[in-house]
Structure 1
């Protein structure tokens, strides 16, 4: 259920408890900011000593104010925090911002205090941001309750770092971006990141949501909220390199890291995942233009061969395609340009800009109009003619005037099409480039930034964002042994070869009579049977099966074995399908090339589970070895659709059993005529 945060962002009145005249205290900075808009709502300052603070009379307590206060900021020593919160609730507070530290971040005792505090606030029907936060601000309602001033704009920043907010502000200003809201997340004792994403999605003044989070809390809920936000969500997070399950006992668990999980959740939810504040700014600048590409086919347009080649490489590194343009498009460009211009892709004016600056606009118009072009990256010298001291002869007036005119014509061509256009220029602050930026076309000084920005405008190849809901919890798995897991998956529609569990030679021979060879013999109760020499394949008949059993039992002494029909491996491809339960994001699926070389090949992809068949097929086709599915060296194509359907069944079973920490089918044999699971295992939490 989404929470009403109106008292937090647009309160009828505000009080700062702990307001101070001492510049070294946080209560001084917050009080000074709160007084920036005294005409919007009553602002009360509270200091237990009374007197004056910042030239205004200070009340000794909230009670002394004599009227209800809707939002209270508490910045007092930790020992007095609970008492201040109780008084705020008694005085009618509907929202509290807890600046004070000393709670969950200090250990078990602090966590207990924090949990009791959050429960009390919720019981009173109020909301709490923090504790251990740096305040909030909402430029759309003139609410200033943080120590710093934020330039107004359309980005809501939800951050666990105050300094990061300051860096982002400096970087964003260069692109004309600012903040609608700033919220320091603190310990998220009550109001969580999910609550804030949901509220910012409803907020008319917010066009994009930027998040810096080290602790997601409920990561799956965050992904679900971001997927339906209807606005760009850009995430910068830290600590993604550590393994999510160091004690993992399956291939899936061993291969799944926190980085994989976060990346999978972001892809499923349509969240742009970035690694640095600079990259976050680049993506926000790109998404603020409003243009989205329906494909990855990118035209690189330059006025110098070196810039064109470098930009083409950067575009491909960012996941874009730079295909050669078709004959029709090349012919149209050739008619506009002179003989030495290149029109294949990259398209290179090759000096024509110095003869006719408006050739930039004419060529741009042709590229944006081409059906085979989804987006355009312009790179190089554009802007230099109008820059002070740039261009030939210091940027002569004629060239400068022509270039500025070309900039306005480029804007007109861009506005006539929904296709994204991003510019890299040696002179990003020139009048010509400022004209582009003012119109909403992102302009960067670095080629790699321009390429990353353009990639951020491409709609997802795997369809619209979405996080599949978890299925209802099923009855706990009673038998986590090999045949118990096999039975669980078989009941869900996952096909297996015929098999029987045996524990003696007599049972072995009886099993061999139930179905014809060749046979497979597996030693049970081993997590990695192949690694331990606990699997024997292609046992032609009863005699071969019995011999393998005697040899294996003498070596391993397993309490039980499985006799199975040998599958036809010809023309098949072995996959791995696994689900690992992450403490923040819940069940996470892994699919990829399987068999005994799973960890060596590491050709796998991740997604939140359960995994719908359509998304499973998209993940399979995105593997490095996906060409194998279509058939190579005379082999027939395999049934990817059948594999995707079985992947959905496996991941749904895992998601419905929270007691299963790891579930894995490896290998899952995909053949031209269907799918067969050849081995499975589960590890209970």
Structure 2
């Protein structure tokens, strides 16, 4: 169910501790905003000097108010913060908004102070946002405890940046978007992003949740909450570079970046991941009308060939298609357009729009009803035709009137269908385009934004959610090659027969137990191949002994492993690994493996553990997936066995939190099953 945050968003009363008449102080802005809703609930202003603040009598302390305070906003210097929180709790506060800075963001000492305060808040049964936050607002309950005013709407914004909220306010306005709630996350000492996301998911006034986060803290819990939200969750995050791979000790670690992890978590949880505030706005605008396309087929409508071709390219770049229209649709379009118009897709009015703006409406109606289309993108000059008649401002010219009449017809046609319609215009602020926007049709100035908006409405593979972590198994205390191999074998992963040897007599004894060809590996080397510690295809005892003498003279390893060499004929080598991310926990990687794993970089990521069904989907999504089904006359390999092996490896890794990294590379997949040919692990 999540934590009860009702006192945070709809308190019975509010007190602003640190309220001030000084406009330079944050307590002034918060107090002014809080008083905007004075009729909804009692609002008390507290200033240690008493007197008046903003024309209201100020209490010198919370205790002096003489009644219970449900929510206290604390905006005082750090030296007085703990005392203010303690007094708020004594006065019955169930919620605290901690504006005060100077805690975890300053280092270990501040982090320790913060932990103590948070523990006292929880012990009292209260909740606290912050410290080091910029406040919150809830337009559905008239609670205004941030320095700025937010336009009402259906988007809840949970953000680690206050300035970003101001930018989104500006970007939202042309699209008719607004905020149900705004929360500045601050240091998340008590109330976390996950707590807030869970609460917004059940908030009736919130229709979509926008998140800006630089630090997820518990990223796995975030993904779980987002997957269960039942509402669109759009994430803008920073710090997704590859710095985390610099200290990696395996191929898996070297190939796994923060961006890969976040992308995988968002895909698993069904979160829309965006890169900029502009893209965040585009996606929310597209989702605002709750329209979803049934497929990925887009019809492009334009009155100029250049705009049409550019839009078609943008649509395909966004992962959608621009198919040729069926003959009945083309025939119908020819009855409403003139001879020079192109009707295959893109549909180009070829100048007819300037003579007859209503042709846009007729074409949109045809494209929205065509069975071979799932969405329509109208692009180019619509909105600007009135300029040619001197009436861009809607001054009553014939062309301006005709264009606005066309906009009304387009809006009416749009209301009769569930298909998404998106518009890109050179004149997005024109009266005609504003009329479209008012009717719930997203209008953008950039072609790539329109294409991205349509991509947001397109069907996505059902998100898998986050598979729960298994109970921890007995921890591994050794992670050398043989202990790791043995543990994976016990978990159900097949390996070739092998023996550890220390000298030539033991080497020759191994040849009596199983036939060649053989593989010889020097142990206690993490990257055995890179160090020249692997010899393959040794036909018999003589070749094996010669390889042993040469390798031992060069490396002087304490022990070696003799293995039966698997037959790679008709096989495909995969890599399967798990890297433990500090925020998201175990993250699995599957892809084309062998010695070229890093060079080829054909890999896919997902949160671990991975079910066999999910593994099969990932394997089928690789660029080189055709190799699994046979190529150039080779037989198909046992992909189901490979998927089962992925499940075994990732479940094992997820059950061993003491492992920082583990991988099997190569995992040889043949037409008859799988064999793990090498493995490595690194203890955290």
- Does the alignment reach a TM-score above 0.5? yes
SS at match of 1:153: strand
- Give the aligned partner of residue 78 of structure 1: 78
Answer yes or no: is 1:531 the counterpart of 2:530: yes
RMSD of the TM alignment (CA)?
2.0
* 8 Å contact kept, 1:21–1:28: yes
Q: Which deviations, in whole Å up to 9, do the C-alpha atoms of 1:635-668 show, x marking residues without a partner?
A: 2333333222221221111111100100101111
- Give the aligned partner of residue 557 of structure 2: 558
Answer yes or no: is 1:612 the counterpart of 2:617: no
- Structure 2 CA distance for partners of 1:389 and 1:284, relative to 1, 3 Å: farther
Answer yes or no: is 1:25 the counterpart of 2:25: yes
In structure 2, what is the Cα distance between the partners aligned to 1:616 and 1:345? Answer: 37
SS at match of 1:382: coil
Alignment of 1:439-458 (within 5 A): 439-458=439-458
* 8 Å contact kept, 1:243–1:256: no
Alignment of 1:339-418 (within 5 A): 339-386=339-386, 397-418=397-418
Larger deviation, residues 572-581 vs 316-325? 316-325
- Give the aligned partner of residue 673 of structure 1: 672
* 8 Å contact kept, 1:386–1:404: no
SS at match of 1:136: strand
Larger deviation, residues 542-551 vs 37-46? 542-551
- Structure 2 CA distance for partners of 1:674 and 1:284, relative to 1, 3 Å: same
SS at match of 1:670: strand
- Give the aligned partner of residue 539 of structure 2: 540
Larger deviation, residues 652-661 vs 314-323? 314-323
Answer yes or no: is 1:149 the counterpart of 2:153: no
- Give the aligned partner of residue 297 of structure 2: 297
**Pairwise CA distance, 1:364:** 2.2
**Pairwise CA distance, 1:287:** 1.2
Answer yes or no: is 1:634 the counterpart of 2:646: no
In structure 2, what is the Cα distance between the partners aligned to 1:287 and 1:485? Answer: 48
- Give the aligned partner of residue 519 of structure 1: 518
Larger deviation, residues 315-324 vs 172-181? 315-324
In structure 1, what is the Cα distance between the partners aligned to 2:530 and 2:326? Answer: 53
**Pairwise CA distance, 1:327:** 4.4
- Give the aligned partner of residue 38 of structure 2: 38
SS at match of 2:121: helix
* 8 Å contact kept, 1:388–1:395: no
**Pairwise CA distance, 1:185:** 0.6
Answer yes or no: is 1:499 the counterpart of 2:498: yes
Answer yes or no: is 1:488 the counterpart of 2:487: yes
In structure 2, what is the Cα distance between the partners aligned to 1:392 and 1:188? Answer: 50
In structure 1, what is the Cα distance between the partners aligned to 2:591 and 2:502? Answer: 34
Larger deviation, residues 44-53 vs 436-445? 436-445
* 8 Å contact kept, 1:382–1:425: yes
Larger deviation, residues 475-484 vs 393-402? 393-402
- Give the aligned partner of residue 120 of structure 1: 120
Q: Which deviations, in whole Å up to 9, do the C-alpha atoms of 1:24-77 show, x marking residues without a partner?
A: 111111000000011100000011111111001011111111100000001111
**Pairwise CA distance, 1:432:** 2.3
In structure 2, what is the Cα distance between the partners aligned to 1:48 and 1:204? Answer: 39
Larger deviation, residues 396-405 vs 597-606? 396-405
* 8 Å contact kept, 1:361–1:407: yes
Answer yes or no: is 1:213 the counterpart of 2:208: no
- Give the aligned partner of residue 278 of structure 1: 278
- Give the aligned partner of residue 591 of structure 2: 592
- Structure 2 CA distance for partners of 1:44 and 1:393, relative to 1, 3 Å: closer
Larger deviation, residues 565-574 vs 21-30? 565-574
**Pairwise CA distance, 1:304:** 1.2
Larger deviation, residues 490-499 vs 580-589? 490-499
Q: Which deviations, in whole Å up to 9, do the C-alpha atoms of 1:57-100 show, x marking residues without a partner?
A: 01111111110000000111111110011100000000001011
SS at match of 1:500: strand
* 8 Å contact kept, 2:428–2:443: yes
Q: Which deviations, in whole Å up to 9, do the C-alpha atoms of 1:196-230 show, x marking residues without a partner?
A: 00000010011111111111111110111011111
- Structure 2 CA distance for partners of 1:108 and 1:607, relative to 1, 3 Å: same
In structure 2, what is the Cα distance between the partners aligned to 1:259 and 1:595? Answer: 24
SS at match of 1:596: coil
**Pairwise CA distance, 1:116:** 0.2
In structure 2, what is the Cα distance between the partners aligned to 1:60 and 1:392? Answer: 59
- Structure 2 CA distance for partners of 1:410 and 1:619, relative to 1, 3 Å: farther
* 8 Å contact kept, 1:388–1:394: no
- Structure 2 CA distance for partners of 1:574 and 1:370, relative to 1, 3 Å: farther
Structure 1 unpaired stretches of 5+ = none
- Structure 2 CA distance for partners of 1:327 and 1:648, relative to 1, 3 Å: farther
Alignment of 1:187-336 (within 5 A): 187-336=187-336
**Pairwise CA distance, 1:398:** 4.3
In structure 2, what is the Cα distance between the partners aligned to 1:567 and 1:410? Answer: 66
**Pairwise CA distance, 1:13:** 0.2
- Structure 2 CA distance for partners of 1:393 and 1:451, relative to 1, 3 Å: closer
* 8 Å contact kept, 1:387–1:431: no
SS at match of 1:36: helix
In structure 2, what is the Cα distance between the partners aligned to 1:649 and 1:27? Answer: 56
**Pairwise CA distance, 1:292:** 1.7
* 8 Å contact kept, 1:579–1:664: yes
Q: Which deviations, in whole Å up to 9, do the C-alpha atoms of 1:222-271 show, x marking residues without a partner?
A: 11101111111111111111422432100111111111111111111111
In structure 2, what is the Cα distance between the partners aligned to 1:371 and 1:510? Answer: 72
SS at match of 1:299: strand
SS at match of 2:243: coil
Structure 2 unpaired stretches of 5+ = none
In structure 1, what is the Cα distance between the partners aligned to 2:512 and 2:344? Answer: 68
- Structure 2 CA distance for partners of 1:506 and 1:420, relative to 1, 3 Å: farther
* 8 Å contact kept, 1:63–1:91: yes
TM-score in terms of structure 1 length: 0.96
* 8 Å contact kept, 1:301–1:379: yes
SS at match of 2:37: coil
- Give the aligned partner of residue 658 of structure 1: 657
* 8 Å contact kept, 2:155–2:209: yes
* 8 Å contact kept, 1:529–1:535: yes
Runs of 4+ in 1 over 6 A off after TM superposition: 390-396
* 8 Å contact kept, 2:301–2:376: yes
**Pairwise CA distance, 1:350:** 1.9
SS at match of 2:613: helix
